[in-house]
């Protein structure tokens, strides 16, 4: 059995490694959410920044709940391998991380109060923030938000920990950290700001006013496909590095990070890794959310219905690939003009990325959390198209595919992996074979589809007809009908 990855000695020549003295650089970033995406994305950019310009910008990583990954990283002195999958796999050991905290809210809060921490970055997924996007406020029904408002001195959730740390820094006269959301959410900086201010306002209006005046919340757009780690990942990393690595991650060659350049306490030289600093992230974010993520959701539900396990399988299916391209064109038509975007070139690049045979990105993984993702990916652009008389059928087809998948889950008695999974299951089981009831009840869920879409008889009727076709004749036949001249 190979030894664990605890140091850089003994790595084969072909394995890239940190090009700097790790011990010479202090911790300057607290990152919440040590998932695979962060380890393959922001941490890699930080590794490049440290190699290029140095600085005390290493990362203290933290998971709010699970200890497994922090324990694995601590056992490896913060080192782990990024396996880049392509026609020729490449391994790179990342050194940007220092210690890690798992499942200890008090320890995370202490770290956030440390004046050395100048950035708190987050990849905690949509549902962990506890923010009501519709109201642009803290979600008082979210369990972590409710618990932390009841016991603000012992917070366990995102908003509670961040607000308590900012309150402590204000009281101590310490400069506030910058809050950097790196989650795949539209206007993620503004959303996080609204959540933090809403939470703080319930505790102390003066604190909320101080945060509003002094804390930066830059917006970001992030992109890198990061499949779930499998036994094959672990085995390939061990073969390439000669070490066992329980914190490794696999990803694609492509990576993108667009950031609003607003960091009052400084930042790493992330541009050394290819990050792009801009004044307005929103056009880039809209292109990614609507074209990449929107088509990802379509192919996920279609892939599940067709028995296609991986993204690469869906774009190898000629009929489904044509519908994916159609969806990208419809999404591209909603993007802002004059922002320097090229939707056609982006669509071509996306199809090539999706087809990468070395990336085993599961459709099941992408299908999670529909009610959190689809409002931005499908229903917002569909509403814009509807308002100007555009063709919303590609979005109606995608919606019908999702509902057909949901009906299939309900027939099996399986709760969808979604924050509203139990509600979705109940609606689908109640609707039974009544397609119009399923369409109407799901689209009417608060925060899922805007009223312009949910109440539009034309859109709902198109979804219902496509859904009936899928459930009566199968998705393959419905796809053929969509593509018929």
Residue closest to 179 by CA, chosen among 131, 134, 225 = 131
**Predicted model pTM:** 0.85
pLDDT of 186 reads 85
Q: How are the residues of the chain apportioned to helix, strand and coil, as percentages rounded to the nearest 5?
A: 50, 10, 35
- Residue 445 is given by DSSP the state S
- Tokens 């085993």 found at: 360
Dihedral-angle region of residue 173 (phi above 0 means left; psi in -120 to 50 means alpha; beta otherwise): left
d(CA 83, CA 141): 40
For position 101, what pLDDT does the model report? 98
Which are the contacts of 388, defined by CB distance < 8 A and separation ≥ 6? none
Give the model's pLDDT for residue 17: 97
> In sequence order, what are the beta bridge partners of 277?
259
pLDDT score recorded for residue 134: 86
- Rg, the chain, Cα only: 23
d(CA 174, CA 166): 9
| CB-CB contact of 330 with 395 (8 Å) | yes
| φ, ψ at 100 (rounded to 5°) | -135, 150
How much is the mean pLDDT over the chain? 96
> How many other CB atoms sit within 10 Å of the CB of residue 484?
6
- Count, residues in the chain: 485
Low-confidence residues of the chain: pLDDT under 50: none
Report the pLDDT value the prediction gives residue 463, as an integer from 0 to 100.
98
For residue 25, the Cα-to-chain-centroid distance in whole angstroms is 29
Angle at which helices 188-203 and 158-172 pack, to 10 degrees? Answer: 70
What's the confidence (pLDDT) of residue 485?
A: 84
What is the enclosing helix (H) or strand (E) of 94? strand 90-94
β-pairing, 220-223 with 256-260? antiparallel
Output the DSSP codes for 155-189.
--SHHHHHHHHHHHHHHHTPPPPEEEE-SS-TTHH
CA–CA distances in Å: residue 378 to residues 25, 31, 143, 162, 385 = 43, 30, 28, 31, 11
**Residue 415 near residue 371, CB atoms below 8 Å:** no
For the chain, helix (H) and strand (E) counts, in that order, are 23, 13
Sorted by where each starts, the structural domains of the chain and their CATH numbers stand as: 22-278 (3.40.50.720), 282-483 (1.10.1040.10)
> Do the Cβ atoms of 382 and 448 come closer than 8 Å?
no
Residue corresponding to tokens 């970055």: 121
Closest residue by Cα to residue 117 from 205, 160, 177: 177
Question: What are the b/e assignments for 456-469, b being 16+ CB within 10 Å?
Answer: beebbebbbbbbbb
Tokens of 24: 């010479």
Per-residue pLDDT at 303: 98
Closest CA to 155 of 103, 121, 105, 202: 105
Looking at residue 397, its pLDDT comes to: 98
27-32 and 119-122 strand pairing: parallel
DSSP-derived pairing of the beta strands 256-260 and 276-278: parallel
């Amino acid at each position: 059995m190979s030894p664990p990855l605890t140091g850089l000695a003994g790595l084969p020549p072909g394995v890239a490694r940190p090009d700097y003295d790790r011990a010479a650089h202090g911790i300057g970033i607290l990152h919440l959410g040590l998932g695979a995406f962060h380890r393959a994305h922001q941490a890699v950019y930080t590794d490049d920044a440290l190699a290029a310009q140095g600085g005390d910008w290493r990362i203290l990583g933290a998971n709010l709940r699970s200890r497994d990954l922090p324990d694995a990283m601590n056992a490896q002195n913060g080192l782990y391998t990024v396996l880049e999958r392509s026609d020729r796999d490449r391994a790179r050991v990342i050194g940007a991380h220092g210690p890690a905290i798992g499942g200890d809210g008090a320890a995370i809060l202490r770290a956030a109060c440390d004046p050395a921490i100048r950035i708190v970055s987050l990849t905690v997924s949509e549902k962990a923030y506890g923010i009501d996007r519709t109201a642009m406020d803290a979600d008082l029904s979210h369990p972590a938000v409710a618990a932390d408002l009841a016991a603000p001195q012992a917070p366990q959730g995102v908003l509670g920990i961040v607000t308590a740390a900012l309150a402590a820094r204000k009281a101590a006269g310490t400069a506030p950290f910058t809050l950097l959301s790196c989650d795949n959410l539209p206007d993620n900086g503004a959303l996080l700001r609204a959540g933090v201010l809403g939470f703080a306002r319930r505790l102390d209006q003066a604190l909320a006013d101080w945060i509003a005046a002094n804390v930066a919340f830059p917006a970001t757009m992030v992109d890198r496909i990061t499949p779930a780690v499998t036994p094959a990942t672990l085995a390939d990393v061990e073969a390439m590095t000669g070490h066992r690595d329980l914190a490794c991650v696999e990803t694609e060659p492509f990576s993108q990070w667009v950031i609003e350049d607003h960091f009052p306490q400084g930042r790493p030289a992330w541009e050394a890794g290819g990050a792009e600093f801009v004044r307005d992230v929103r056009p880039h974010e809209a292109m990614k959310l609507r074209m990449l993520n929107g088509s990802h959701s379509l192919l996920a539900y279609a892939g599940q219905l067709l028995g296609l396990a991986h993204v690469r399988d869906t774009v190898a299916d000629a009929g489904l690939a044509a519908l994916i391209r159609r969806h990208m064109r419809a999404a591209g038509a909603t993007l802002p003009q004059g922002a320097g975007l090229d939707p056609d070139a982006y669509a071509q690049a996306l199809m090539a990325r999706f087809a990468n045979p070395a990336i085993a990105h599961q459709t099941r993984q992408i299908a999670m959390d529909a009610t959190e993702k689809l409002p931005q990916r499908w229903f917002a652009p569909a509403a814009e198209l509807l308002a100007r008389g555009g063709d919303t059928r590609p979005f109606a087809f995608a919606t019908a595919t999702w509902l057909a998948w949901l009906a299939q889950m309900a027939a099996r008695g399986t709760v969808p992996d979604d924050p509203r999974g139990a509600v979705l299951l109940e609606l689908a089981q109640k609707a039974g074979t009544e397609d119009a009831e399923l369409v109407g009840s799901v689209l009417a869920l608060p925060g899922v589809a805007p009223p312009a879409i949910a109440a539009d008889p034309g859109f709902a009727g198109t979804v219902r007809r496509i859904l009936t076709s899928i459930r009566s004749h199968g998705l393959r036949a419905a796809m053929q009908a969509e593509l018929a001249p």
